[in-house]
């Protein structure tokens, strides 16, 4: 199953928003996503958690705005009114300076605690567990294969595929520094702290693609540490799971077979796993079904053979200091064959 512009990306979007999805795929994400609507916005919630956080935000903003206007009005009144015509000055100081803030902040505190408690408690159903580990600068994603979707565990990268309508518990850890997982359209932030295990619960109530971003400065390429959450109807999600559990597809022609041989010959398997081949490295992302993902290098490039070839030969130019060396000694035909083979791994 391929999550690409042309099917899932644009399938559930109204026409007016399709150009955004396509622009995102073309790597033009930054200016587009700064808009209030869209794939990475806390203002267009795709599930209960994000909707409740939005409600809290709106309540805080409106409350603060009302109080601000009230305080400014009183200030003007106090300045223009003569002190002898300003009644109950002492009562204003005690009431407005102490009683009012204590009451308002206490009410807000109770509201926020209740809401936060609901956010960390998955609703009734057993959640789907996904393990997510931050690394400089990508995300390792593991499906441990527990109930209710028991089966062989597998790893993927920079993408969480989840079933619509079911709670998901993301167990977050880090391999190096502090990162923070944030998918504004689905949930609040959760930090990845060295030596600590944190949990993030979320649920998507409508299918679609939600973009996430590392929300804690974690080094030179922090800005290029994005990921996607793809919420699928349950039947499509189960088909995706089945596909991910299977080994990489066999090369369909001599060109792709040549790409696979070159991948192994250049030692790519020392860092990457491609199940179904001798490549079993665990330093970099699992590439078994990399061709079916939305992006390359944690949202840095679109998932195309051209981008694969660019990444293989110039990764240090595209994302300096990332863990993969640039294979700039590789000839063009070899890079192209490897790129086409990787792109075919859906
Ligand atoms: Cu990882 Cu910022």
From first to last of its 346 residues, what are the pLDDT tens digits of the chain? 444 433 333 334 344 444 434 444 444 444 444 456 678 889 989 998 899 999 999 999 999 999 999 999 988 888 887 767 667 778 888 888 899 999 999 999 999 999 888 887 766 788 999 999 999 999 999 999 998 899 999 999 999 999 999 999 999 999 999 999 999 999 999 999 999 999 999 999 999 999 999 999 999 999 999 999 999 999 999 999 999 999 999 999 999 999 999 999 999 999 999 999 999 999 999 999 999 999 999 999 999 999 999 999 999 999 999 999 999 999 999 999 999 999 999 9
pLDDT at 86: 67
Q: Is 218 touching ligand 1 by the criterion CB < 6 Å?
A: yes
pLDDT at 83: 66
pLDDT at 20: 38
Task: Please state the separation of Cα 149 from the chain's center in Å.
Answer: 22
Task: Please state the separation of Cα 320 from the chain's center in Å.
Answer: 22
Lookup: tokens for 219: 């080094």
Closest of 341, 156, 153, 339 to residue 245, by C-alpha:
153
Atom of ligand 1 nearest to the CA of 225: 1
Closest of 42, 35, 43 to residue 16, by C-alpha:
35
Contacts of residue 168, defined as CB under 8 A and 6 or more positions apart, other chains included, come to 122, 127, 128, 129, 130, 160, 162, 201, 202, 203
The overall longest dimension of the chain from CA atoms, in Å, is 95
Which of helix, strand or coil describes residue 203?
Answer: coil
For the beta sheet containing 138-143, the strands, ordered from the edge strand earlier in sequence to the opposite edge, are 154-157, 138-143, 128-135, 168-174, 198-202
Atom of ligand 1 nearest to the CA of 179: 1
pLDDT at 252: 94
Ligand 1 centroid, distance to 17 Cα (angstroms) = 28
Ligand 1 centroid, distance to 215 Cα (angstroms) = 6
- How would you classify the pairing of strands 154-157 and 138-143? antiparallel
Q: Is 222 touching ligand 1 by the criterion CB < 6 Å?
A: yes
Q: Is 217 touching ligand 1 by the criterion CB < 6 Å?
A: yes
Atom of ligand 1 nearest to the CA of 218: 2
User: What totals of helices (H) and strands (E) does the chain contain, helices first?
Assistant: 10, 12
Atom of ligand 1 nearest to the CA of 217: 2
pLDDT at 62: 94
Cα–Cα distance measured from residue 84 to residue 45, given in angstroms and rounded to the nearest whole number: 52
Q: Is 232 touching ligand 1 by the criterion CB < 6 Å?
A: no
Q: Is 215 touching ligand 1 by the criterion CB < 6 Å?
A: no
| Phi, psi of 302, deg, nearest 5 | -70, 160
Cα–Cα distance measured from residue 245 to residue 126, given in angstroms and rounded to the nearest whole number: 21
- Residue with the smallest CA separation from ligand 1 atom 1 is 179
| Phi, psi of 110, deg, nearest 5 | -65, -45
Ligand 1 centroid, distance to 221 Cα (angstroms) = 8
With 0.85 as the threshold, say if the pTM is over it.
Answer: no
pLDDT at 330: 93
pLDDT at 36: 60
Q: Is 137 touching ligand 1 by the criterion CB < 6 Å?
A: yes
Q: Tokens 């863990």 label which residue? A: 323
DSSP-assigned letter for residue 325: P
Judge whether 174 and 134 are in contact, CB under 8 Å: yes
């Amino acid at each position: 199953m391929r999550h690409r512009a042309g099917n899932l990306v644009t399938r559930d979007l109204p026409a007016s928003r399709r150009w955004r999805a396509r622009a995102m795929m073309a790597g033009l994400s930054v200016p587009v996503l700064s808009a209030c609507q869209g794939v990475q916005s806390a203002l267009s919630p795709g599930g209960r958690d994000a909707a409740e956080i939005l409600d809290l935000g709106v309540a805080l903003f409106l409350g603060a705005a009302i109080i601000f206007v009230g305080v400014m009005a009183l200030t003007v009144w106090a300045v223009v009114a003569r002190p002898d015509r300003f009644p109950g000055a002492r009562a204003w100081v005690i009431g407005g300076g102490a009683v009012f803030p204590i009451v308002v902040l206490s009410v807000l505190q109770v509201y926020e605690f209740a809401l936060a408690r609901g956010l960390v408690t998955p609703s009734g159903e057993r959640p789907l567990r996904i393990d997510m580990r931050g690394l400089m600068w990508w995300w390792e994603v593991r499906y441990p294969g527990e109930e209710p979707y028991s089966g062989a565990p597998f790893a993927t990268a920079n993408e969480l595929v989840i079933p619509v309508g079911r709670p998901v518990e993301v167990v977050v850890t880090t391999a190096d520094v502090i990162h923070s997982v944030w998918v504004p359209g689905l949930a609040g932030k959760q930090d990845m702290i060295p030596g600590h295990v944190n949990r993030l619960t979320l649920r998507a109530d409508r299918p679609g693609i939600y973009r996430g971003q590392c929300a804690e400065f974690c080094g030179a390429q922090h800005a290029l540490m994005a990921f996607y959450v793809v919420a699928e109807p349950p039947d499509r999600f189960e088909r995706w799971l089945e596909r991910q559990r299977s080994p990489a597809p066999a090369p369909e022609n001599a060109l792709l077979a040549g790409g696979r041989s070159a991948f192994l010959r250049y030692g790519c398997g020392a860092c990457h796993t491609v199940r179904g081949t001798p490549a079993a490295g665990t330093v970099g992302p699992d590439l078994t079904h990399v061709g079916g993902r939305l992006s390359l290098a944690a949202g840095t490039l679109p998932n195309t053979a051209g981008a694969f070839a660019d990444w293989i030969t110039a990764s240090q130019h595209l994302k300096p200091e990332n863990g993969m060396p640039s294979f700039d000694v590789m000839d063009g035909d070899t890079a192209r064959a490897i790129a086409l083979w990787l792109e075919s791994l859906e």
